Structure formats: structure tokens, C-alpha cells
């Protein structure tokens, strides 16, 4: 028997009055998923109008049309305030579409193969000249299988930062770049693929850097500057720097990102994968991902028109998890997470903007908190940090149940002017981050030395903090300042600020500039793999003494580092790679002076 979609009830003629009002209220809040027959019903769920839930019974042309209309809106909307999520119920879809800014595409199955798109889900770079994908940010693809119908069987995803690819099964080849109209490969500048299987070859081509974690494929074709593989089956072979590969055989500690799905009873729930240690390959390649499903009624489902800091904090105090639907949320107070195991998730890349000069989010020194899929934005009033994980006196041991941060952007400027001291401050121990981007805007609204100031992107004071995929750019002091012991970083990508007005404005005492990656002198244990630090001193002939600074201690180790002079004023340079070691990069001949590498310290 066909089940009636809740909004079909609303469409029937019924008597007016309190009874019908109650029926409407129940429909709006229902977490049961019924079979929708038309695409007009796709965005009439409890998640609001900017979340489209597609059913395989809907006409393919209508689903295609909805996806195309959203892409047309969002293809070049780099600083748009619009946000969208395209969610697909289990089944097969014969459609081919592109994904633009602030758009999340995700399957609602328990495993990627439950949703099969036979056609294509792609990200192109046609909105920029020369197929330049270096600004293809803020979108995500997760938890579905795709069989590309292109003549060469290629899925094309040309992205840079803040565009994570997770839980994908690509039944063909995967290309991580786009072609211009003369079939030249356009630029692309770094991305992230995790918990995924590619049946064919992965071709990064012009991708300058990339992190792959817990994946497998038939072949990986090439590298440019910095390609890192952690827990990957069939990782490419070769010794850094030629080819520029860093291979770590196992992922030491991970809990895959939680995701929205449908239960067997047809209800929405959030699946939280189990904590795993020393893993290789995708979590679902030998059977369903193991973990726990949390019903949607345990979440406060936030809507941008109605959710305020007070109501969100009341929900947190009551023990609710938070699910932010697509949109921009302006918050006049800090969201305070105090209960262990709290989940705070975003659908459709929502933005949270603080207006009070306080952190947007603080997390108590408790076990097992999860933050995922959010943009945290600086407001006009300076804040000490936008996210604080643990108060300054944190000392609890969270080794058995760490806090996880997934797919977070911390943004100062770009969409609007803003300011803050640090982006993220981590005071708790055993925190794990999986793909985070801390960005002081180099373009867009308020992008100027005195208009969107930040001192640091990331400050780590806690012990045993692990980060997979740390992207950290353009801050006016240290990009990364690490004060805690036991830190581990797998892949680091950083551009130091473009807009330094002169050398005198950027001195660390008597030293030229601030290292991108600074490990404090007191630290005795720290390790990092695959680091790239790049310069474009656009406004002045500025010099940076060392891209990385770290104490000379047996327990402090760095593997496979590279510096690159991208462009800039004559006589600008990064003089050394680490601790006064390694050659300088600058714009003069010979050509190889534009890139330098260093293998291991000590």
C-alpha cells in the first residue's frame, strides 16, 4: 500500500478549525519519511525549504531540473548567503548534475551503495577563466555511489579547500581538476577524500596538494607538490620529493563523520560510526560501517529564521543535539556545549556568525563531543577565538572517547568584514580534527591588513591532539601555534599572508616574519607528515625567515616538507624551510628556486 506523504494531507480539503491546525502541525514535525511522488514535495520536510529530499520514484527529469536550478544559482556564488542540501533516499537515479557553492549532496542510505546515481555528480570550474578551481570552496559530496555516464567513465570533481568528499563509491575514474576550452588542465589547490572507494584511476593532474585517508582505488596517477595518503589501500609508490608522495600505512585513530540516514522503519536518524584504531581502507568496504543510530527526535532541528542563541542553548541544556539546516545564523551569545557526547551538525554548509565579541562555540572539557559541517564566521566585534574546545584549565583524559571536529571552516572576512585573535583554540586533550580550514580572507569583503585582522588560525594547548588535513592561511602571526605535547598532523597546507604592507609590519622580534607552523620551545613530542607552505607577497618585497619552527628534541619530528614561491614582489622570499635549514624560494631564475623541499627533521 502506498504511504501518504504528510503534505498530501494538507493538500486535501478538510474542515477548518483547531483539528486541522493540529494535523498541519504534526505534518510539519513528522520524522517519518513517506513516498513523495512529485519533486515539488522534495523540500517540504522537517528540514525546511532549502533541504531537498529526493525519492527514486520522482520523475528523473524533475529531479534533474531541481538540481540544475540550484547549480545555476550557486555556481559562482562564492560569498552567497544561500545554502542548500540535496539528499537522496535509497534507490537508483538516472541524472547528471553539477554541484556549486554551499551545496551538500548526500545519500540517505546506511552505506554508499544504497544510493546509486547513474549519470554523474560533478564539480566543474567553468565560472572562472581557464578552468581555475582554486576558489571552488564550501560544498560536500557524501555517502553515495556514482556510475558516470560520460564516454570515458569519468567523475570530475575540481575543488580546493573546504570541499570534502566522503563515503563515495565512484564506479569509474575520478578526476580532481577541470579542463579549459583548449583542453588544458586548470589549476586546483588542495582537497580531501576519505572513507571512499574508486573502482578506476584517480587523476589529480594539476592538483597542487591533496589528502586521501582510508580510501582505495585501482591507481593514483601523479602529484605536483604535496600528496599525502593515510590508511590507503593501493597508495602510490615513490619517495618524496619526486614524486611528492607521503604514505602513512595506517590511520592511527579515527571515528568517521556522522551522517543523516533513513532507518529500516523509514525515519530520519543520525548514524555515529564507532571509534577505530590502526585502520586501512574504507569503513564500509568489508561490510556496513559499525556504530550507533540516533533518532532525529533527539535533535533540535534549527531553522535560520527562528533559531537564536538562547533557544539553541536551552536545547543543549536539555540534552538535545543540534542539527543546523541550511542558512546563515546570527548569534548574539556563545553556544555552550557542556554535556558529553553532544553532536552539533550542519546540513547544507550553514554559517554561524558571532556578534558579541565572544566565541561562537565553546566546548566544556568533556568526552565525545562532535562538531561537523559548519562555517564559523567572525563578526565586527573582535573575539578571542571563534571555537574554544575546553576551557584554559582543561586537564581531563579523553583518550577513550575523544572530541571530533569534521569539515569546519573558520572564516574571517570574505563574506563580510570581521576580526578575531585566534580561529580555533584547543585546550582539551585527545581532540581529533578531520579536515579543517582556518581562513583569513585574501579576497572578498573586508579583506585587508587592517580590516580583517587575526593573529593565529589554530592554537593547540591540549595534549595528544591529532589532525588529518589542516588547511590554515593568511593570518598575521603564526598560522599554527602548537603548545601541547603529543601532537600529530597528517597533511598541512598553508599560505602566509598576501597583504603584508612592509617588512617592518611583520617582524617577530628581530626575525623576519612569523613561521607558518610553530611548535613551542617547551614541547618535547610532536610529529607531522606532508607539509606545504607557500608565499605570495603581493603588496611588498617581504621575507620570511623559516616556514616551520620547532624545538630540536628527539621526540619532535617532521617528514616531507615543501615551500613554494607562488608569485609576488621581486626580492620577496621564504628564506628557509625549517629552523634555518633548507633552501630559499623566490621568483628569480633558476626556475627550481620557486620550490624547495626538505625530507626529515631531525
Average pLDDT over residues 92-99: 98
Query: What pLDDT is attached to residue 103?
Result: 98
Model confidence at 208: pLDDT above 60:
yes
More confident residue, 41 or 407: 407
What percentage of the chain reaches a pLDDT higher than 70?
A: 93
What φ, ψ does residue 31 adopt, rounded to 5°? -100, 0
**What distance in Å separates the CA atoms of residue 80 and residue 184, rounded to the nearest whole number?**
29
Question: 381 and 415 in contact (C-beta within 8 Å)?
Answer: no
Report the DSSP beta bridge partners of residue 375.
351, 409
Model confidence at 242: pLDDT above 60:
yes
What Rg, from alpha-carbon coordinates, does the chain have?
Answer: 23
Share the mean pLDDT of the chain. 93
What φ, ψ does residue 504 adopt, rounded to 5°? -60, -25
Question: 445 and 415 in contact (C-beta within 8 Å)?
Answer: yes
**What distance in Å separates the CA atoms of residue 567 and residue 50, rounded to the nearest whole number?**
40
Model confidence at 380: pLDDT above 50:
yes
Report the DSSP beta bridge partners of residue 519.
482
* Band (602; pLDDT cuts 50, 70, 90): confident
Among 1-15, 295-309, 333-347, 493-507, the minimum mean pLDDT is found in: 1-15
How far the first Cα of the chain sits from its last, in Å, is 69
Model confidence at 30: pLDDT above 70:
no
Strand stretches in 259-320, DSSP E: 259-262, 268-273, 275-279, 291-295, 299-302
Strand 555-568 and strand 525-537: the pairing is parallel
Report the DSSP beta bridge partners of residue 532.
493, 562
H/E/C letters for each residue in 53-101?
Answer: EECCCCCHHHHHHHHHHHHHHHCCCCCCCCCEEEEECCEEECCEEECCC
Integer angstrom CA distances of residue 478 from 144, 535, 550: 39, 14, 12
Q: What is the pLDDT of residues 434-486, one digit of tens each?
A: 999 999 999 999 999 999 999 999 999 999 999 999 999 999 999 999 999 99
Distance of CA 261 to the CA centre of its chain: 20
CA-nearest of 141, 187, 139, 143 to 163 is 139
Strand stretches in 91-240, DSSP E: 91-93, 96-98, 103-107, 115-122, 139-148, 154-156, 165-170, 173-175, 191-203, 209-220, 226-230
Query: What pLDDT is attached to residue 38?
Result: 87
Residue 495 annotated in active site: yes
Question: 256 and 283 in contact (C-beta within 8 Å)?
Answer: yes
Q: Which of 495, 527, 549, 573 is catalytic?
A: 495
Q: What is the pLDDT of residues 184-203, one digit of tens each?
A: 999 999 899 999 999 999 99
**What distance in Å separates the CA atoms of residue 276 and residue 251, rounded to the nearest whole number?**
9
Contacts of 591 (CB under 8 A, 6+ apart): none
Instruction: Please tell me what DSSP assigns to residue 348.
Output: S
**What distance in Å separates the CA atoms of residue 479 and residue 516, rounded to the nearest whole number?**
5
Model confidence at 422: pLDDT above 50:
yes
Strand stretches in 338-417, DSSP E: 343-346, 351-354, 361-363, 370-377, 383-389, 404-412
Average pLDDT over residues 84-94: 98
* 3-state SS class at 45: coil
Report the DSSP beta bridge partners of residue 107.
88
**How does 322-336 read in b/e, with b if 16+ C-beta sit within 10 Å?**
bbbbbbbbebebbbe
Domains observed in the chain: 1-30 (no CATH), 31-255 (2.160.20.10), 296-601 (2.160.20.10)
**What distance in Å separates the CA atoms of residue 533 and residue 185, rounded to the nearest whole number?**
23
Report the DSSP beta bridge partners of residue 273.
291
Q: What is the pLDDT of residues 263-272, one digit of tens each?
A: 999 999 999 9
Query: What pLDDT is attached to residue 476?
Result: 98
H/E/C letters for each residue in 486-542?
Answer: CEEEEEEEEECCCCCCCHHHCEECCEECCCCEEECCCCCEEEEEEEEEEEEECCCCC
* Band (590; pLDDT cuts 50, 70, 90): low
Query: What pLDDT is attached to residue 150?
Result: 79
Model confidence at 24: pLDDT above 60:
no
Q: How many CB atoms lie within 10 A of CB 424?
A: 26
Integer angstrom CA distances of residue 161 from 105, 157, 178, 393, 584: 17, 12, 16, 33, 26
Model confidence at 151: pLDDT above 80:
no
Model confidence at 21: pLDDT above 90:
no
What percentage of the chain reaches a pLDDT higher than 90?
A: 91
Instruction: Please tell me what DSSP assigns to residue 32.
Output: B
Half-sphere exposure of 152 (CA within 13 A, CB side): 8
Question: 409 and 162 in contact (C-beta within 8 Å)?
Answer: yes
**What distance in Å separates the CA atoms of residue 273 and residue 194, rounded to the nearest whole number?**
14
**What distance in Å separates the CA atoms of residue 355 and residue 368, rounded to the nearest whole number?**
28
Amino acid at each position: 500500500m502506498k504511504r501518504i506523504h504528510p503534505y498530501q494531507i494538507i493538500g486535501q480539503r478538510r474542515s477548518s478549525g483547531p483539528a486541522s491546525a493540529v494535523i498541519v502541525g504534526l505534518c510539519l514535525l513528522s520524522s517519518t519519511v513517506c513516498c513523495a511522488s512529485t519533486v515539488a514535495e522534495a523540500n517540504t520536510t522537517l528540514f525546511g525549504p532549502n533541504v531537498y529530499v529526493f525519492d527514486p520514484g520522482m520523475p528523473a527529469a524533475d529531479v534533474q531540473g531541481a538540481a540544475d536550478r540550484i547549480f545555476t544559482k550557486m555556481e559562482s556564488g562564492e560569498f552567497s548567503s544561500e545554502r542548500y542540501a540535496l539528499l537522496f533516499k535509497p534507490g537508483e537515479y538516472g541524472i547528471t548534475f553539477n554541484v556549486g557553492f554551499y551545496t551538500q549532496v548526500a545519500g540517505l542510505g546506511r552505506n554508499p551503495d544504497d544510493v546509486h546515481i547513474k549519470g554523474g555528480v560533478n564539480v566543474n570550474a567553468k565560472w572562472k577563466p581557464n578552468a581555475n578551481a582554486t576558489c571552488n570552496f564550501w560544498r560536500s559530496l557524501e555517502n553515495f555511489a556514482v556510475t558516470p555516464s560520460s564516454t570515458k567513465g569519468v567523475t570530475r570533481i575540481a575543488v580546493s579547500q573546504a570541499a570534502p568528499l566522503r563515503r563515495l563509491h565512484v564506479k569509474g575514474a575520478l578526476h580532481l581538476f577541470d579542463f579549459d576550452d583548449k583542453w588544458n588542465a586548470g589549476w586546483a589547490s588542495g582537497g580531501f577524500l576519505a572513507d571512499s572507494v574508486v573502482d578506476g584511476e584517480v587523476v589529480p593532474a594539476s592538483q597542487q596538494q591533496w589528502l586521501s585517508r582510508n580510501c582505495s582505488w585501482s591507481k593514483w596517477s601523479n602529484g605536483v607538490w604535496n600528496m599525502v595518503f593515510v590508511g590507503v589501500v593501493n597508495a602510490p609508490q615513490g619517495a618524496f620529493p619526486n614524486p611528492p608522495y607521503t604514505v602513512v600505512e595506517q590511520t592511527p585513530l579515527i571515528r568517521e563523520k556522522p551522517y543523516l540516514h533513513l532507518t529500516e522503519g523509514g525515519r530520519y536518524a543520525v548514524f555515529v560510526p564507532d571509534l577505530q584504531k590502526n585502520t586501512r581502507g574504507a569503513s564500509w568496504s568489508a561490510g556496513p560501517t559499525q556504530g550507533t543510530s540516533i533518532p532525529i527526535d533527539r535533535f533540535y532541528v534549527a531553522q535560520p529564521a527562528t533559531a537564536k542563541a538562547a533557544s539553541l542553548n536551552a536545547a543543549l541544556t536539555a540534552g538535545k543535539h543540534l542539527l543546523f539546516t541550511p542558512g546563515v545564523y546570527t548569534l548574539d551569545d556563545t553556544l555552550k556545549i557542556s554535556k558529553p557526547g553532544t553532536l552539533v551538525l550542519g546540513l547544507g554548509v550553514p554559517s554561524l556568525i558571532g556578534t558579541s565579541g565572544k566565541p561562537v562555540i565553546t566546548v566544556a572539557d568533556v568526552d565525545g563531543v562532535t562538531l561537523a559541517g559548519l562555517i564559523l564566521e567572525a563578526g565586527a566585534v573582535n573575539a578571542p577565538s571563534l571555537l574554544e574546545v575546553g576551557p584554559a584549565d582543561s586537564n581531563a583524559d579523553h583518550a577513550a572517547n575523544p572530541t571530533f571536529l569534521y569539515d569546519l571552516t573558520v572564516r574571517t572576512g570574505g563574506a563580510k568584514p570581521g576580526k578575531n585573535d585566534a580561529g580555533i583554540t584547543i585546550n582539551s586533550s585527545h581532540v581529533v580534527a578531520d579536515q579543517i580550514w582556518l581562513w583569513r580572507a585574501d579576497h572578498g569583503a573586508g579583506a585587508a591588513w587592517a580590516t580583517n585582522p587575526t593573529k593565529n588560525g589554530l592554537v593547540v594547548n591540549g595534549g595528544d591532539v591529532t589532525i588529518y588535513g589542516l588547511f590554515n592561511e593568511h593570518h598575521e602571526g603564526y598560522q599554527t601555534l602548537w603548545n601541547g605535547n603529543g601532537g600529530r598532523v597528517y597533511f598541512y597546507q598553508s599560505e602566509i599572508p598576501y597583504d603584508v604592507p612592509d617588512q617592518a609590519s611583520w617582524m617577530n622580534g628581530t626575525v623576519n616574519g612569523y613561521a607558518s607552523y610553530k611548535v613551542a620551545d617547551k614541547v618535547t613530542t610532536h610529529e607531522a607528515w606532508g607539509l606545504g607552505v607557500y608565499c605570495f607577497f603581493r603588496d611588498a618585497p617581504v621575507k620570511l625567515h623559516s616556514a616551520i619552527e620547532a624545538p630540536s628534541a628527539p621526540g619532535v619530528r617532521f617528514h616531507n616538507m615543501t615551500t613554494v614561491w607562488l608569485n609576488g614582489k621581486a626580492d620577496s622570499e621564504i628564506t628557509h624551510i625549517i629552523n634555518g635549514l633548507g633552501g630559499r624560494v623566490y621568483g628569480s631564475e633558476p626556475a627550481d628556486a620557486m620550490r624547495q623541499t626538505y625530507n626529515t627533521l631531525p
